[in-house]
Structure formats: structure tokens, C-alpha cells
Amino acid sequence: MERVHHTCTLHLLLLTVFPLCCQASWMWLGLSSAGVAEQRGCSDLPFSREQKELCRKRPFLLPAVQAGARLGLAECQSQFKHERWNCTSKDFSVFGYELTSGTKESAFIHAVMAAGLVHAITRACSQGAIAECGCDASLQSLGSPLEGWHWGGCSDHTRFATWFSRQFLDGPPGNTSLPRATSPALLAVNQHNTDAGRQAVERTMVTECRCHGVSGSCAVKTCWRSLAPFERVGAVLKERFENSVEVLQRFARQKVRRKDKVSRRVPLERDRLLYLHKSPNYCLEDPGRGSLGTRGRTCSRTSRGADGCGLLCCGRGYNTRVVRHVTRCACKFVWCCYVRCRRCESVTDIHTCK
């Protein structure tokens, strides 16, 4: 309880010392407490002018917008928890440099945050929390009872959420509600990646069915479309991050083109993540480039993956400390009436990067 109290006090202090301004972004809501968005209102949130206008027209969407920000940020940190860049930032605007860097990390941020927004709003629609949308009834007249199934139930409806996400994040054509891009190429890439995030939600949807019939015979099934768990969406986007494509910084008529000359004529799929600049190695702390470094991070001595001490510590080596855990074990009930336990002790080696 004391730790929670200190955390809340810190958030209030930050809000006092660092008032929300144009340098922050809507993604800040992913770090804020539940209900903060509704309490502060549209005009006092870190939104762009276009986002504030959209918020004033639909203030009832604020809880879903905040839920989407929290969903995207949490999934980003989950997917990269073992990487050198672990989706954290000391910047009060949540991501700072990474948001407009044009790197692979920036591509993932834009995609996963857009996906989180679509996922949260779609879920709110299906739950009846938003009057403008509800279940997707377009499928209910389809299907074949003769084949033993038909569409029914409450299919999750992503159309409204996708429309709102596009308006909220990308803004009107020729404009952007994301932090201002420094070049047309960065603007085009950012919007491509947010669209790829929205598509990931749609393409990971699953078909769920319920059986009907005498004694559970499943003679007929009613099926509907549902959102996949957001962890699945995050995993798909992480895979696309690993296979993201570098594109040219200059191109004619705003058409994004591959930087690799050999494969330049290969069309760019809409669901691919794109980036403009090579990523820093994130080994050392560099606030100017959004790197917190890996010093002090916990690593695995035996792993050969990204969380292994060799890769995570960037060849600097690691420190090892012994941690002893004492627990109650082998507990037995003694008549009558108490529980007798043994005192068990375990030793764990903790490795941290130098």
C-alpha cells in the first residue's frame, strides 16, 4: 500500500511540475491512472488540435481511448521485455525520441498503439458502452443451416473503431495528429504503420461457435467473429517488426519505395512495417536518441537469445549476486488444530549487466 501511495503521489507531482502540453502525446494516457482522461476533459489532455476537436464531438470515447493507450503500451513492454530496447522511456511524453525517429522501434510503437486503440473501442462497442456502435449484424443473414451452422450471436464490429482510429491518429488527408513529422517520408511511413496495426486487429480475429441440439449433439452451431486476445495481436506485430522493410527517405509523389535496389520492384504489402533509419544499438544510455542503455538490466547467463548476458550486456560482462529465499514448505495439518511447516531455503543467482 505504501508503494502504491508513493506512485500516486509521484504522478500528481509530475502533473503539477510538467503540465500537459503540445510536446506530449495521447500515448501519455497509457501511463495515467484510470479515469484521468474523463476528469481532465478534452481541452486539458495532451491532444493535437484535431484530436481535441474529435474528442469534443465524442467525449464518451475517452475511457476507450485511455484503455487503448494502456493496452498498446503494456503490450509493447511485454513484447520487448527481454530486448535491449524494452519499450521504456524516461521522457514524460512516454516515448520521446522513439516516436519520430523513423526506426523499426518507432514503426512498432505506431502500429501497436493504433492496434490497441482499435481493440479497446471495438470491445467497448460489443459491450454496449458506446451508443454509436454495437455488434456486427452484417453476417447474420449468411451461413447455411443445411451445413449445420449459421452466423449469429454478437460479432465484434471493428468498422467504427477503425474509422475513429484513422481520424484520431492520422487526421484529415495531408495532415497528421501524431507528433509533427519532419519530412513527407516520415509522415507517410508513420501513417502506413498505424494502418498496419489496425489491420493486425482485423486479421487476427477468430471464429467462435456454440453448439445447439438434443443432449449436446451439436446438430447446429451458431458462430460469430471475435477479437483475438491482444497478446496475439502483439505477437503478430512483433513478427512484422522482425521482418520490417527499410524504405527510401526520398521518393517521388509520396510513393514509398524499398531502399534495397535488388528488391525495389517488389510491391510493399500493406501489413508490412516500414522504417527509414537504422536503429541505435541501445547498449549505452543516450537520452538524445531515446536509449536508456542496458546497465543494471537482469540477464540470463545460459540463454543465447536476446535476454542472454552476452547480447543484452553488449560484451561488457555482468555482475552476479546470490539471493536467498526462505519460505514455508511441507506444511501439514496437526489435529487439533494448527498447521506445522518446515522452513525451506533456496539460493538463486541474479546476473545484471555491467
Q: What is the pLDDT of residue 289?
A: 75
| Listed residue (294, 291, 345, 297) closest to 323, CA to CA | 345
- 189 and 168 assigned to the same domain: yes
141 assigned to some structural domain: no
Query: Would the pLDDT of 90 be above 90?
Result: no
- Burial (0-12, 13-18, 19+ Cβ within 10 Å), 304: exposed
Average pLDDT, the chain: 81
- 202 and 262 assigned to the same domain: yes
- 49 and 90 assigned to the same domain: yes
Domain boundary residue, one of 288, 314, 329:
288
- 199 and 90 assigned to the same domain: yes
pLDDT band at 11 (very low <50, low <70, confident <90, very high): very low
Q: What is the pLDDT of residue 251?
A: 56
Identity at 68, one-letter amino acid code: G
Q: What is the pLDDT of residue 223?
A: 83
Query: Would the pLDDT of 215 be above 70?
Result: no
Query: Would the pLDDT of 322 be above 90?
Result: yes
Grid cell for residue 308:
542472454
Query: Would the pLDDT of 272 be above 50?
Result: yes
Q: What percent of the chain has pLDDT over 70?
A: 77
- 197 and 299 assigned to the same domain: no
Query: Would the pLDDT of 213 be above 80?
Result: no
| Listed residue (308, 138, 118, 125) closest to 204, CA to CA | 118
- The DSSP output letter for 279 is P
Over residues 46-66, the mean pLDDT reads: 90
213 assigned to some structural domain: no
The residue ranking higher by pLDDT, 262 or 114, is: 114
pLDDT band at 183 (very low <50, low <70, confident <90, very high): confident
Query: Would the pLDDT of 266 be above 70?
Result: no
CB within 8 A of 231, min separation 6: which ones? 75, 78
Give the three-state DSSP class for 184: helix
250 assigned to some structural domain: yes
How far apart, in whole angstroms, are the C-alpha atoms of residue 15 and residue 211?
52
Query: Would the pLDDT of 255 be above 70?
Result: no
φ and ψ at residue 84, rounded to 5 degrees: -60, -45
DSSP-derived pairing of the beta strands 291-292 and 298-299? unpaired
Domain boundary residue, one of 288, 319, 335:
288
Query: Would the pLDDT of 91 be above 70?
Result: no
4 assigned to some structural domain: no
Query: Would the pLDDT of 254 be above 60?
Result: no
pLDDT band at 145 (very low <50, low <70, confident <90, very high): low
Query: Would the pLDDT of 262 be above 70?
Result: no
- 48 and 101 assigned to the same domain: yes
- 275 and 328 assigned to the same domain: no
How far apart, in whole angstroms, are the C-alpha atoms of residue 171 and residue 279?
27
Over residues 206-212, the mean pLDDT reads: 84
Domain boundary residue, one of 271, 288, 305:
288
Q: Which domain holds residue 353?
A: 294-354
Count of the separate structural domains present in the chain: 2
Q: Which residue has the cell 438434443?
A: 214
- pTM over 0.85, yes/no: no
For the ranges 51-60, 95-104, 123-132, 338-347, the lowest mean pLDDT is seen at: 95-104
Give the three-state DSSP class for 245: strand
183 assigned to some structural domain: yes
Query: Would the pLDDT of 36 be above 70?
Result: yes
We report the CATH number of the domain holding residue 330 as 3.30.2460.20
Q: What is the pLDDT of residue 259?
A: 67
Q: What is the pLDDT of residue 94?
A: 60
Is the bond preceding residue 337 a cis peptide, omega within 30 degrees?
Answer: yes
Q: What is the pLDDT of residue 5?
A: 43
pLDDT band at 118 (very low <50, low <70, confident <90, very high): very high
Do residues 111 and 104 lie in contact, with contact meaning Cβ atoms separated by under 8 Å? Answer: no
- 56 and 198 assigned to the same domain: yes
- 328 and 253 assigned to the same domain: no
Burial track 56-89 (b if 16+ CB lie within 10 A, e otherwise)? eebeebbbbbbbbbbbbbbbbeebbebbbbbbeb
- 177 and 304 assigned to the same domain: no
Q: What percent of the chain has pLDDT over 90?
A: 45
215 assigned to some structural domain: no
Q: What is the pLDDT of residue 56?
A: 92
- 349 and 239 assigned to the same domain: no
- 158 and 40 assigned to the same domain: yes
94 assigned to some structural domain: yes
The residue ranges of DSSP E strands in 227-337, in sequence order, are 245-246, 274-275, 285-286, 291-292, 298-299, 318-334
218 assigned to some structural domain: no
Q: What is the pLDDT of residue 219?
A: 73
CB within 8 A of 69, min separation 6: which ones? 26, 27, 28, 29, 30, 113, 116, 117
Cα first-last separation, the chain:
32
Render pLDDT for 216-232 as a digit per residue (tens, 0 to 9): 677 778 888 899 999 99
